[in-house]
Amino acid sequence: MNSLPSEIIACILSRLPIRTIVICKHVCKRWLDILSAPEFAKCHLSLSNPGLITHQFEEEDLWKVIEFEDVLELQNHDLHYNLVKKFDPRSFITSPDARIVIEGSVDGFLFLRDFSTRLDSLYICNPITREYIALPQPKFVVQNAYNSHYGFGLSSISGQYKVIWNNYHETRSCSNLQGNSVECLVYTLGTGSWRSVALGDPIQTLRSSMGVFLNGNLHWLAQDFNGHHLISCFDLETEIFEPFSPLPPYPRIFPDSRSLVVLQDCLCLCEYSTWDTIVIWMMKDYRVNESWSQQYVIPIMFRTTCETMYPIKVFKDGDILILWEDFELFFYSNKSKSTQKVDAFEMVHYSGWTEATLHTSSFVSLKSFCVENVGIF
């Protein structure tokens, strides 16, 4: 190994699991220098496969970074999950009654929101490097907003990471309600400040909290002021809103239980077709409305009250990992056409608050954004 060029060593080590790479930093000073270089972080990120972030709120926050295998003919999914690390963001989110939720994950950066304060507090962190940035509070945001929605993504050309904050509030005069007002704020990492951008016409009322990132755009389920259902799309490069219309011809039995997700690099819509069956529609050709197709019909084998289902990942063997509202995770087996609850993550069932999202672990440092005040936790 000592006779190999540093570039070859970096290429070899970048293919190892996260925990093994951390251990390799202790082998010798040369390896530490190689593994700490920005070039290694970029190489590793380009080869990394998405894992999972899980979060369960009880008396203490339990956050886990998980890697999993995705190969054909898995006999038992629970045997193919590896815990990378545990962490607690309350080590840097210091509000005494912090209520922290995930609002997005891109390239190893996790976008978190603490909604325990009057105006939401927002953070970007990397659980692997243990770095975080507390985003500044916007100076011109309305303090009494009744509905805020967020997104986090990467612009397709400039490569800038951007946080989007859509803020909805009531306009009142002399205690009389005048109507609704909407503002959209953009924070580009490395600038240190928020900007206001135009919403376009017509204004849509967003229906889901987390922006779904795909192809350089953020997407939310929306409803315009005429009651038409659509997908609101925000181009992170041009910073322009543009709606998708129409949605696939779903029956709309429980419209408030729909979810928008990304599966197999396609935009997907999940909704109930009956009380105990969900369907997943897939837009096979991006932004081509005619390409919507009903991809999966999944019977739910346990009692629900039509809570929202969030499909997370389709495995190579056809099994699907799904988050049931904020209760727990389960698999749908493509072979047996049945559902099975997941026990691999040491999660307490029915805790009342469970989150899970795809997350690609990386060694990319937040310190590359020079203007930002980066802390360590």
| Domain CATH code at residue 196 | 2.120.10.80
| Through-space distance between the first and last CA atoms of the chain, rounded to whole angstroms | 34
Backbone angles phi, psi at 304, to 5 degrees: -135, 170
- Report the pLDDT value the prediction gives residue 62, as an integer from 0 to 100: 77
Peptide bond into 246 cis (omega under 30): yes
Residues 103 and 32 in one domain: no
99 & 184 share domain: yes
pLDDT digits (tens, 9 = 90+) for 46-103: 999 999 999 877 656 679 999 887 776 656 666 578 889 999 999 999 888 888 999 9
Residue 152 shares a structural domain with residue 34? no
Instruction: State residue 303 phi and psi, 5-degree precision.
Output: -70, 130
> Is the domain of 43 the same as that of 155?
no
At 226-273, the pLDDT tens digits run: 777 889 999 999 999 988 877 776 656 676 788 999 999 999 999 888
In whole angstroms, give the CA distance from residue 222 to residue 212. Answer: 12
Which of 15, 30, 47 delimits the end of a domain?
47
Q: Are residues 354 and 206 in the same domain?
A: yes
261 shares a domain with 207: yes
- Specify whether 234 is located in the same domain as 249: yes
- Provide the token pair at 126: 């990397």
Q: Is the dihedral of CA 94, 99, 103, 108 positive or negative?
A: positive
Alpha-helix residue ranges (DSSP H) falling in the chain:
6-13, 18-24, 29-36, 38-47
295 and 208 in a common domain: yes
- Of the candidates 275, 322, 265, the one whose C-alpha atom is nearest the C-alpha of residue 296 is 322
| Domain region containing 43 | 1-47
Q: Which one of 81-90, 200-209, 361-370 scores highest in mean pLDDT?
A: 361-370
Residues 161 and 37 both lie in one domain: no
Question: Cα(373)–Cα(375) distance, rounded to whole angstroms?
Answer: 7
Same domain, 19 and 126: no
Kindly state the DSSP code that residue 210 receives in the 8-state scheme. Answer: B
- Bridge partners of 231, per DSSP, are 221, 244
Q: Indicate the angle between helix axes 38-47 and 29-36, nearest 10 degrees.
A: 70
Q: How many domains does the chain have?
A: 2
Cα–Cα distance for residue pair 196/121, rounded to 1 Å:
18
pTM for this prediction: 0.90
The answer to whether the beta carbons of residues 272 and 254 sit under 8 Å apart is: yes
| Contact predicate 34/73, CB 8 Å | no
Please tell me the predicted confidence (pLDDT) of residue 44: 96
Rg (CA), the chain: 21
Say whether both 165 and 243 belong to one domain. yes
Cβ neighbour number for residue 115 with a 10 Å cutoff: 15
Same domain assignment for residues 312 and 300:
yes
